[in-house]
Amino acid sequence: MTYCLGMLVQGGLIMMADTRTNAGVDNISSYRKLRVFGGDGKRLIVVCSAGNLSTSQGALQRMMRGVPNPETLEMDSWQSVPSIYEAARAAGRAIRLARDGNDSLDQSAGVNFDASLLVGGAIDGEAHRLFLVYSEGNVIECGPDTPYLQIGEAKYGKPMLDRALRFETTPEEALKIGLISFDATMRANLAVGLPIDILVSRAGGARIDVQHRIEPSDAYFRDLSQRWADAMIAAVDGVPLPPYAGPA
């Protein structure tokens, strides 16, 4: 399992991914799921991946080398795509190539080779954009009404995003809300775990403003986790007891 979160707020793009990969609970490893291409101020593409590791790695490999674009008859790669939209669409084709290749190897048809991606960033002066690439290869874009996209184990960490995150939220505040969302997810699903990779790119540039790996020893994240746990208990205590009594 995996949890990846992309947030696109007025002030910039925030992307986050855990690093735990598992094939059953008895086979757990750490793999980087947040990858950065560029960051020189002209081209920044940030990719988070969830799902079958062979498929997502296969798709990223293909995007390094180039995948055919049936509309332009050119080869699209991270280095060549003219926009984040085209990066996401090319990554969708790469996912399909990798997934279909894996499916053809699986004679039992019993393995799920699905994988999905978040692709965000900015190219050649465009505003930051953020897309979710589904396993089928189609893409959807993040918009200001719901300024985030999730892949992987999305449900445990969704409630606080819906309550606290707005398009007007600052990138620092969004990063904090995202870490609370990760904390909730990691407490509920052992297949999502530290370290967490985070990246922030402020609006108006294709630069990496924050890039950090949160390790288990991270003091800020431990404090956040404890404060959140205490606040949850206090919030429960603050609600009066129910008035319901007696059989209907």
Residue 66 burial (C-beta neighbours within 10 Å; 0-12, 13-18, 19+)? middle
Part of the chain binding a copy of itself (CB under 8 A), chosen from 46-54, 66-74, 111-119, 211-219: 211-219
Region binding a copy of itself by CB under 8 A among candidate stretches 44-52, 57-65, 107-115, 202-210: 202-210
Q: Which residue has the tokens 């790119």?
A: 201
Q: Measured from the CB of residue 68, what is the shortest distance to a copy of itself in angstroms?
A: 33
Measured over the CA atoms of residue 18, residue 24, residue 28 and residue 34, the dihedral's sign is negative
| Least separation in angstroms between CB 44 and a copy of itself | 11
Q: Counting contacts by CB under 8 A, is residue 32 touching a copy of itself? A: no
Q: How would you classify the pairing of strands 34-38 and 43-51?
A: antiparallel
Binding segment (CB under 8 A) for a copy of itself, from list 69-77, 107-115, 121-129, 234-242: 234-242
**Cα 202–chain centre separation:** 17
Q: Are the CB atoms for 46 and 199 separated by under 8 Å?
A: yes
**What's the closest the beta carbon of residue 122 comes to a copy of itself, in angstroms?**
16
23 binds a copy of itself (CB under 8 A): no
Q: How far apart are CA 171 and CA 86, in angstroms?
A: 25
Pair 225, 186: CB distance under 8 Å: no
The DSSP secondary-structure symbol of 223 reads: H
Q: Is 160 in the site for a copy of itself (CB under 8 A)?
A: yes
Are 230 and 65 within 8 A, CB to CB? no
Name which position in 176, 194, 203, 205 contacts a copy of itself (CB under 8 A).
176
Among residues 101, 173, 202, 203, the one that binds a copy of itself under rule CB under 8 A: 173
Out of 41, 82, 159, 204, which residue is the one contacting a copy of itself (CB under 8 A)?
Answer: 159
The phi and psi torsions of 50 (rounded to 5 degrees) equal -135, 160
The residue type of 10 is: Q
Give the footprint of a copy of itself on residues 99-158 (CB under 8 A).
155-156, 158
Chain residues that interact with a copy of itself, rule: CB under 8 A: 39, 155-156, 158-160, 162-164, 172-173, 175-177, 179-180, 184, 187-188, 198, 208-214, 220, 223-224, 227-229, 231-236, 238-248
